[in-house]
């Protein structure tokens, strides 16, 4: 049975890649092993791009920039429109490949591709809206304005858990903004990246006259990423992953005065207030905390429940945790799929032990051995009742653990909510206008995302995505996130016959 599952998956990967336009020979082209968390088995062994190969890719991208920056932005938008069309056609296959490579449910795999389509649509519209301001000038006969220009090569470093969407958030915007892209995907999810490149190649072929190497993928781990980080020809490094990675990448890019967008870890919390709609809160918390097996940057990891409802809500949540189906996302209707690998499982177990040592009462969190082969790591999600916000509660553990704590005063709990390193996403469950407005105010949540009556996860592309503090401060996707991919020039034009100086300075010669 185990072997049959493995065989099926390999064959499945091969036929999916074939349909998506990736040559089968790459599957055995090198020594970088790629595994499916669904079975834990190796599905490919890829060739890596070392630092030298990465620098060569950057050089090609820099050459492409010289042409692409001069294509009018709406023309660049046409390429992204075609990419969106190709993604629509490939949605089922790419979604399934995401499920195999990242262990997501089919609905989440398809949802990730839908997010790519959505950002393409957004970016196409944006390609006609990359405008600056005209600004009142103090000098007569003058006009002052700002112009936005393409920035240069954009390096994208992405995490395993959103193996394709994060690239598209960056690539769709970078391309309409006039920039080439060099993408280093997670070493855990290289196949979906190669499939995206093949899909974009089809869009490029239809587009016709884009420069070569406008978009490239480099395969490898940290060393490959570092080549992007350190190269002064990479104008912007957009890096998504752990805070540990951001601590390394951020200072290195800054040391060469490069720009970075850092999208790092989260330690996201929900607050359930006395007036909350409990049924809605329970369902929202369950999805936010257990969905994607707790492997979303926006997963809810801490929950503060008001004393008055604790005994109503928490037993219901414990029941939901006990009954949620855990299993193979490809062959069952499971809502909780596998952890990405053994390391993730061990990290989860270590956090559970640390929580116990701090007085935590643990529900769930054990390995499910009949859900998949031995090399796959399925767990029941853990809900841990904590006496206080201490120990592992203060850190992100990238697994399905929800720490639940009581509170009695909203001001105090907002303080506690904000007293962690990360600042990505947050939620309040309330029907009291004063409570929700306080949470959204300057004195409220300190996160980049603050929600009312929905969970912490599941953002839409229209808003800017990202967080504060140890989450890195970057913003991607919607709103005015495009500005990070362009450079701004302030232009002052004198159409008079005089030369008045700013601030009334006199300099007569
Ligand atoms: P990770 O930090 O292990 O790896 C992320 C990427 O960084 C990989 O491509 C890796 O090869 C690369 N990398 C690591 N060290 C590097 C270095 N020194 N120089 C250059 N590249 C380097 O993260 P992961 O385990 O793949 O993903 C999970 C983490 O990502 C979680 O912490 C999660 O919260 C975070 N995440 C954040 C967001 C967000 O938007 N804020 C989105 C998804 C995931």
Tell whether the model's pLDDT for residue 329 goes beyond 80.
yes
Average pLDDT for the chain:
96
Catalytic one among 101, 112, 263, 435? 263
| Closest ligand 1 atom to Cα of 424 | 41
Structural tokens at position 435:
């409570």
Mean pLDDT of 428-435: 98
Q: Please give the number of the atom of ligand 1 that sits closest to the Cα of 244.
A: 2
Per-residue confidence (pLDDT) for residue 130, from 0 to 100: 98
- Residue 110 confidence (pLDDT) above 50: yes
Per residue in 152-199, pLDDT tens?
999 999 999 999 999 999 999 999 999 999 999 999 999 999 999 999
Contact 409, 392 (CB under 8 A): no
Round to whole Å and give the CA distance between 305 and 301: 13
Please state the length of the chain: 509
ipTM: 0.99
Element (H, E) at 150: strand 142-150
103, 104, 163, 242, best to mutate for ligand 1 pocket (most atoms within 8 Å of CB): 242
User: How many CA within 13 A on the CB side of residue 33?
Assistant: 6
Which pLDDT score, from 0 to 100, does residue 25 have?
87
Does residue 4 have a pLDDT over 50? no
The proportion of the chain whose per-residue pLDDT surpasses 90, expressed as a percent, equals 95
Q: Which residues have C-beta within 8 Å of that of residue 378, sequence separation ≥ 6?
A: 326, 327, 336, 337, 338, 339, 367, 368, 369, 371, 372
Of 331, 295, 336, 303, nearest to 159 (Cα)?
Answer: 295
Which pTM was predicted? Answer: 0.97
Apex CA 469: angle with CA 463 and CA 475, to 5°? 25
Instruction: Kindly list the distances between the CA atom of residue 496 and the CA atoms of 164, 450, 505, in Å, as whole numbers in the listed order.
Output: 53, 50, 18
Backbone φ and ψ of 325, nearest 5°: -70, 125
Q: Which residues contact 337 (CB under 8 A, 6 or more apart)?
A: 37, 38, 103, 104, 105, 292, 293, 326, 327, 328, 329, 378
| pLDDT at residue 11 greater than cutoff 70 | yes
Position 2 scores a pLDDT of 47
Give residue 371's pLDDT: 85
What pLDDT sits at residue 258? 98
Opening angle at CA 308, ends 305 and 309, nearest 5: 55
Average pLDDT estimate for 16-37: 93
pLDDT in tens, 46-78: 999 999 999 999 999 999 999 999 999 999 999
Neighbours of 408 (CB within 10 A): 9
Residue 476 is among the residues annotated as catalytic for this protein:
no
Q: Which residue's CA is the nearest one to ligand 1's atom 9?
A: 186
Sequence-distant contacts of 350-354: CB under 8 A, at least 24 apart: 351/392, 351/395, 351/397, 351/399, 351/401, 352/382, 352/384, 352/401, 354/391, 354/392
Reported as a single tens digit per residue, the pLDDT across 349-363 is 999 999 999 999 999
In 3D, which of 88, 71, 167, 174 has the Cα closest to residue 123?
174
Record the tokens describing residue 230, joined without a space: 């350190």
Ligand 1 first shell, C-beta below 6 A: 157-162, 184, 186-187, 221-222, 225-226, 229, 240-242, 245, 248-249, 263-266, 297, 396, 398, 424, 471
Ligand 1 centroid to 102 CA: how many Å? 14
Average pLDDT over residues 293-300: 98
DSSP state of 491: E
Kindly report, residue by residue over 211-269, the tens digit of the pLDDT: 999 999 999 999 999 999 999 999 999 999 999 999 999 999 999 999 999 999 999 99
Tokens representing 187 are 């070493």
* pLDDT, position 439: 98
pLDDT in tens, 377-387: 999 999 999 99
CA-nearest of 454, 453, 450 to 467 is: 450
Print the SS3 string covering 249-316: HHHHHHHCCCEEEEECCCCEEEEECCCCCHHHHHHHHHHHHHHHHHCCCCCEEEEEEEHHHHHHHHHH
Residue 6 reports pLDDT greater than 70: no
Average confidence (pLDDT) over 109-113: 97
How many beta carbons lie within 10 A of that of residue 256, not counting itself?
Answer: 12
Instruction: For residue 496, give both structure tokens.
Output: 């008079």
C-alpha 186 to ligand 1 mean position (Å) = 7
């Amino acid at each position: 049975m185990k072997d049959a599952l493995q065989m099926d998956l390999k064959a499945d990967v091969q036929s999916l890649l074939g349909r998506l336009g990736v040559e089968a020979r790459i599957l055995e082209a090198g020594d970088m092993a790629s595994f499916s968390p669904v079975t834990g088995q190796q599905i490919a062994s890829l060739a890596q791009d070392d630092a030298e190969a990465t620098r060569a890719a950057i050089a090609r991208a820099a050459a492409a920039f010289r042409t692409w920056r001069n294509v009018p932005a709406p023309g660049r938008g046409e390429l992204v429109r075609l990419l969106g069309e190709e993604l629509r056609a490939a949605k089922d296959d790419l979604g399934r490949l995401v499920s195999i490579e990242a262990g997501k449910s089919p609905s989440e795999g398809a949802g990730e591709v839908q997010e790519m389509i959505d950002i393409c649509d957004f970016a196409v519209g944006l390609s006609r809206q990359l405008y600056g301001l005209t600004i009142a000038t103090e000098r007569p006969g003058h006009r002052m304005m700002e112009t936005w220009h393409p920035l240069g090569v954009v390096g994208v470093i992405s995490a395993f858990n959103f193996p394709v969407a994060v690239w598209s958030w960056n690539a769709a915007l970078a391309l309409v903004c006039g920039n080439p892209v060099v993408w280093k995907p997670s070493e855990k999810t290289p196949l979906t990246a190669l499939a995206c490149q093949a899909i974009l190649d089809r869009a490029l072929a239809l587009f016709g006259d884009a420069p070569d190497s406008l978009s490239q993928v480099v395969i490898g781990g940290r060393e490959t990423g570092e080549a992007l980080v350190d190269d002064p020809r990479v104008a912007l490094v957009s890096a998504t992953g752990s805070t540990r990675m951001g601590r390394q990448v951020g200072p290195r890019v800054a040391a060469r005065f490069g720009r970075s967008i850092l999208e790092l870890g989260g330690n996201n919390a929900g607050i359930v207030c006395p007036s909350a709609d409990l049924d809605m809160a329970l369902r929202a918390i369950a999805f936010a905390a257990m969905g994607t097996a707790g492997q979303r940057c926006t997963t809810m990891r801490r929950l503060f429940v008001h004393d008055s409802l604790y005994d109503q809500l928490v037993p219901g949540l414990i029941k939901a945790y006990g009954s949620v189906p855990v299993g193979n996302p490809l062959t069952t209707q499971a809502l909780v799929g596998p952890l990405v690998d053994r390391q993730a499982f061990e990290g989860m177990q270590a956090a559970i032990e640390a929580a116990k040592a701090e007085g935590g009462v643990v529900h769930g969190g054990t390995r499910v051995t009949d859900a998949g082969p031995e090399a796959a790591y399925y767990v029941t999600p853990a809900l841990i009742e904590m006496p206080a916000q201490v120990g592992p509660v203060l850190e992100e553990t990238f697994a399905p653990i929800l720490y639940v704590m009581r509170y009695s005063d909203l001001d105090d709990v907002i303080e506690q909510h904000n007293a962690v390193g990360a600042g990505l996403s947050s939620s309040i469950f309330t029907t009291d206008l004063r409570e929700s407005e306080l949470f959204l105010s300057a004195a409220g949540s300190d996160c980049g995302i603050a929600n009312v009556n929905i969970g912490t996860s599941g953002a839409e592309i229209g808003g800017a995505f990202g967080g504060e503090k140890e989450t890195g401060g970057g913003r991607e996707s919607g709103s005015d996130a495009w500005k990070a991919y362009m450079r701004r020039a302030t232009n002052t034009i004198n159409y008079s016959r005089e030369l008045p100086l700013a601030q009334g300075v006199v300099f007569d010669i």
